[in-house]
């Protein structure tokens, strides 16, 4: 899907002109035209402004259905409750809970470093 065509379609469905969008977003009309014609790729921040001006949730710029898309469960991870139900020992469950709490308190850069170190240790 070309995002410009989707933006134009939503704008026209709401009977708005590019000038109306310009007033609502503060973006220049010529920029809006360039986006709609596929000459410019807007940033995520700009897409958020356009979605707000069109009074639609951001996902509707990428998805044509009436309801939000169903997100697949891409993770086979289990919660600590599921681990306990699957026969993990109390000691293992407590360990995973403690790791989860501690990971929630460190910043993303340190989390990435910790993951890297764990991968290196596991590959030995």
Rounded distance between C-alpha atoms, residue 117 and residue 86, angstroms: 28
End-to-end CA distance of the chain: 45
pTM (predicted TM-score): 0.54
Mean pLDDT of 16-31: 94
Helices (H) and strands (E) in the chain, counts: 7, 0
Mean pLDDT within 54-81: 73
> What's the confidence (pLDDT) of residue 85?
63
Tell me the C-alpha distance between 41 and 1, whole Å.
Answer: 13
Mean pLDDT of 43-65: 88
- H-assigned helices in the chain: 3-13, 18-25, 29-36, 44-54, 80-85, 90-103, 108-122
Between the alpha carbon of residue 4 and those of residues 13, 42, 78, 105, the distances in Å are 14, 9, 40, 40
Structure confidence at residue 83 as a pLDDT band (50, 70, 90)? low
Cβ atoms of residues 53 and 25 within 8 Å: yes
Domains of the chain: residue spans and CATH: 3-61 (1.10.260.40), 80-122 (no CATH)
CA atoms within a 13 Å half-sphere pointing along the CA-CB vector of 53: 25
């Amino acid at each position: 899907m070309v995002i410009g065509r989707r933006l134009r379609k939503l704008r026209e469905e709401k009977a708005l002109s590019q000038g109306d969008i310009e007033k609502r977003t503060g973006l220049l009309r010529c920029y809006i035209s360039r986006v709609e014609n596929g000459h410019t790729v807007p940033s995520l921040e700009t897409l958020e402004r356009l979605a707000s001006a069109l009074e639609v949730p951001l996902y509707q710029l990428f998805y044509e259905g009436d309801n939000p898309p169903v997100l697949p469960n891409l993770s086979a991870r289990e919660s600590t409750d599921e681990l306990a139900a699957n026969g993990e020992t109390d000691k293992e469950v407590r360990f995973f809970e403690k790791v989860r709490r501690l990971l929630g308190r460190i910043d993303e850069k340190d989390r990435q470093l910790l993951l890297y170190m764990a991968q290196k240790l596991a590959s030995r």
